[in-house]
Homo-oligomer: A and B are copies of this chain.
Amino acid sequence: MNCALITVGDEILIGQVTDTNVVWISRQLAGAGVRVGEMVTVPDDASRISRTLDRLMGKYDLIIMTGGLGPTKDDITKQTLADYFGSELVTNPEALDRITRFFKLRGRQMLESNLHQADVPEGCEVLTNEHGTAPGMWFEKEGTILVSLPGVPYEMKQLMEDQVMPRLRRRIRIPYTVHRTVMTQGVPESYLAALLRNWEAELPSCVKLAYLPSPGIVRLRLTVHEPCTEEAEQILKVNIDKLLGIIPEHIFGFDDISLEEALGQLLREQGLTIATAESCTGGNVARMITSVPESSDYFTGSIVAYHNRIKTGILKVDESAVARFGAVSREVAEQMASGVKRIFGTDCAIATTGIAGPGGGTADKPVGTTWIAVAAGERIYSRKFLFGGSRERIITQASCSAIQLLRQLILKMI
């Protein structure tokens, strides 16, 4: 099954909003063996939407549109679809009932604009929106299924999961395209490619390899298009096992597991607790760790010590160490890690201290210089990094490296 995605919205075209919906939708579809062949974004403009439909209808088996279904006047997708399919907008009683209850339940006053959200083009199948007031719509014409969904991400996601995917699964055969992603940390893309040159050269021709770099992390995606799922799985397994022999220390997981999830799994398996002491990362390591559900089982807390007096006053870093080596130094990083570990009574700790920029760099310690210390049990390990790029990029790289260093230390000890 071939699919095209259409996003409707001026806000995307003028760069005001990042379109995260298409990523999420594509991932769902890929998992079900539906290949997205094209994504296109068009303005809130009836003629541009219609022309794009003209080009794609009949060419793809499935088109998923998002956006333009809101209660405000700038949202025109629904009327455009009614016109495109030559039908009228009619009130859908179930949708009206649902919207009325939606507002009653929340004790909010219902507005006229919300009432109109129950209107849909005659003849379409209505997809129930559990989290909002704009129903989804399902059309079939010219051999193409056209689905229209609201652009609000959590409403779209519920509609995809509960309504669209089950309907699609009833129609499509079992997928024969198999993806596996190997998650690596600590080696830049071109060095990784050099390390893996021989392995890559020996890959069977049915395996497609892609390097996907992002700050701090490079993903290796292996794809097999095979006539048999089991065979594809076997081909991937053999080649990923080889890869594990070449760069074992840089691989932290598979299939888009995050570093913080990988750390969480390890801490949970080993029954360990953790705290962080952060200077340059400003709470980002704690935020990453706590983004994982039930991280409270192993994460105790953090001290973000932005000012030196918090480093010395709360974390009990020696004032003489700060004076002698500077706040960005091995000594201070290690004392931060052991300080927070002792104060919070945890088994492990992560500490960061560095210069995130854009100001604050010196000849000795340019912007990006970062000391990271990790502690587990009686052991402590620290390392200096020089990260490049913007403030955001430096913070992200430092946070990823810190989590990976702790994982490596724990793995060495067990």
Contact = CB atoms under 8 A, between A and B. Distances in A.
A38 B27 contact: no
B301 A303 contact: yes
A95 B133 CA distance: 55
A316 to B, nearest CB: 13
- Interface residues on chain A, size class: 35 or more
Interface string A322-364: 0000000000000000000001100000000000111100000
B282 A289 contact: yes
B314 A302 contact: no
B15 A28 contact: yes
A317 interface: no
Contact of A290 (B283, B294, B343): B283
Interface string A81-122: 000000000000000000000000000100101100000000
- A contacts with B: majority SS: mixed
A304 B301 contact: yes
A293 to B, nearest CB: 6
A186 to B, nearest CB: 15
Contacts of A344: 310
Interface of A: 7, 10-20, 22-30, 35-44, 48, 70-74, 108, 111, 113-114, 131, 133, 152, 154, 179, 181, 189-191, 193-194, 200, 208-214, 219, 221, 223, 256, 276, 278, 281-287, 289-291, 293-296, 299-307, 309-310, 314, 343-344, 356-359, 388-393, 395
7 A-B pairs with least C-beta separation: A282-B290, A15-B27, A15-B26, A283-B286, A283-B283, A302-B304, A39-B41
Given A12-B26, A283-B287, 4 more contacts: A14-B26, A22-B41, A72-B189, A302-B302
